[in-house]
């Protein structure tokens, strides 16, 4: 076996219900076998480890590697995986998700035909437990790939699993410990450093959306994102990243910040969270936010946040909309 092209890194924590489907989708890769799959059990308290080890033994897959470590969170686990990786390109997969049988083949085509150093690919949101009806599992896809500008790339979601990038681009990237929305750090730096980004316009990844992030208590925890923004600023300066990439990342978080604050039910905590949001976004000048690569929707919410008390009536209306969206999503999950 020659040099490994792809290193697939799977952080796994208490995913016994989903891990088998995830690994099965990787085994079914067509047209590309030059990969390694690194599974890291981050101190699970269920039988995630047993499932991973049994899968490797039963499927007789010699390019799958299993590691165990004390629980340290997803950032520490991704850093661990990067240290173990030997492939030319890094592919992250969440352990409760699935991938298309064409993923690695399409990635290899984009790399061979265009010398891409970063490839973004579309995804499908999975709701509920079943993956049987997912279009992602279909192998009958026509390869659709085109060059994308770095401006377009910077407007895309920050999910690390929605892109494959050269391992060399990760040399100065460390996922921050103890923070949430840590993806914006690695993704922002990757967006700035890559030279030949391409976009595969096929849904090659199935992202499982679960309702636990919609709880009010979880919303309170998500306010740590404002610490992540400060960490991102430091990392961008350290890596000489152009300010427009930092500005774009901050503005692209506007909707998440707004929705997290307006999901808080306790009035005193809501007011404190809103003040924290106002202060955090006050540091970014309005004109710089509007000139960023963020989406139009994120820019609109950014303007509302910047308006502070002047936009409270609009914010109140949007807050009501957030509650309705959450109720609708929860009812969909319970059906």
DSSP state of 176: P
| CA–CA distances in Å: residue 323 to residues 65, 86, 215, 216, 320 | 43, 45, 11, 11, 5
pLDDT tens-digit map of 231-276: 999 999 999 999 999 999 999 999 888 888 888 888 898 888 889 8
CA neighbours within 13 Å on the CB side: how many for 233? 12
Res 225: pLDDT: 87
Res 222: pLDDT: 77
> What dihedral angle (degrees, nearest 10) is formed by the CA atoms of 25, 133, 20, 10?
60
Res 198: pLDDT: 98
DSSP state of 27: H
Res 261: pLDDT: 87
d(CA 83, CA 177): 16
Res 44: pLDDT: 97
Model's pTM, two decimal places? 0.90
The answer to whether 15 and 96 are in contact (CB under 8 A) is yes
State how beta strands 89-92 and 163-166 pair.
Answer: antiparallel
Collect all residues with Cβ–Cβ distance below 8 Å to 196 and sequence separation of at least 6: 114, 115, 116, 117, 118, 147
The proportion of the chain whose per-residue pLDDT surpasses 90, expressed as a percent, equals: 70
**b/e code 45-67 from CB counts within 10 Å (16+ = b):** eeebbebbbebbeeeeeebbbbb
Higher pLDDT residue, 80 or 326?
Answer: 80
pLDDT level of residue 25 (50, 70, 90 thresholds): very high
How many other CB atoms are found less than 10 A from the CB of residue 139? 12
Query: Which of 127-141, 240-254, 276-290 is least confident?
Result: 127-141
**Residue 315 predicted with pLDDT over 80:** no
pLDDT level of residue 151 (50, 70, 90 thresholds): very high
- 62: tokens are 């010699």
Higher pLDDT residue, 141 or 123?
Answer: 123
d(CA 28, CA 296): 38
DSSP state of 136: G
């Amino acid at each position: 076996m020659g040099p490994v092209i792809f290193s697939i890194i799977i952080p796994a924590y208490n995913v016994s219900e989903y891990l088998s489907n995830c690994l099965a989708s990787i085994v079914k890769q067509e047209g590309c076998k030059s990969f390694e799959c690194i599974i890291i059990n981050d101190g699970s308290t269920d039988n995630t480890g047993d499932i991973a080890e049994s899968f490797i033994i039963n499927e007789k897959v010699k390019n799958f590697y299993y590691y165990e470590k004390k629980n340290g969170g997803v950032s520490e686990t991704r850093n661990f995986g990067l240290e173990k990786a030997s492939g030319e390109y890094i592919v992250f997969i969440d352990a409760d998700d699935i991938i298309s049988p064409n993923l690695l083949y399409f990635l290899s085509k984009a790399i061979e035909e265009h010398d891409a150093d970063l490839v973004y690919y579309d995804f499908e949101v999975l709701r509920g437990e079943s993956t049987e009806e997912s279009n992602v599992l279909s192998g009958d896809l026509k390869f659709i790939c085109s060059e994308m500008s770095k401006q377009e790339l910077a407007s895309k979601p920050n999910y690390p699993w929605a892109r494959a990038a050269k391992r060399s681009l990760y040399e100065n990237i460390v996922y921050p410990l103890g923070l949430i929305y840590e993806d914006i750090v690695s993704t922002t730096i990757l967006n700035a450093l890559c030279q030949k980004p391409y976009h595969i316009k096929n849904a090659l990844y199935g992202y499982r959306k679960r309702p636990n992030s919609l709880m009010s208590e979880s919303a309170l925890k998500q306010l740590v994102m404002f610490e992540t923004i400060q960490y991102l600023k430091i990392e961008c300066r350290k890596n000489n990243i152009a300010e427009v990439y930092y500005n774009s990342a901050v503005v692209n978080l506007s909707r998440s910040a707004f929705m997290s604050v307006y999901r808080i039910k306790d009035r005193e905590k809501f007011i404190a969270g809103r003040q924290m949001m106002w202060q955090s976004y006050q540091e970014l000048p309005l004109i710089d936010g509007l000139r960023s690569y963020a989406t139009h929707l994120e820019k609109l919410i950014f303007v509302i946040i910047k308006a502070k008390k002047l936009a409270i009536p609009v914010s109140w209306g949007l807050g009501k909309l957030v509650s309705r969206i959450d109720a609708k999503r929860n009812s969909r999950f319970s059906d």
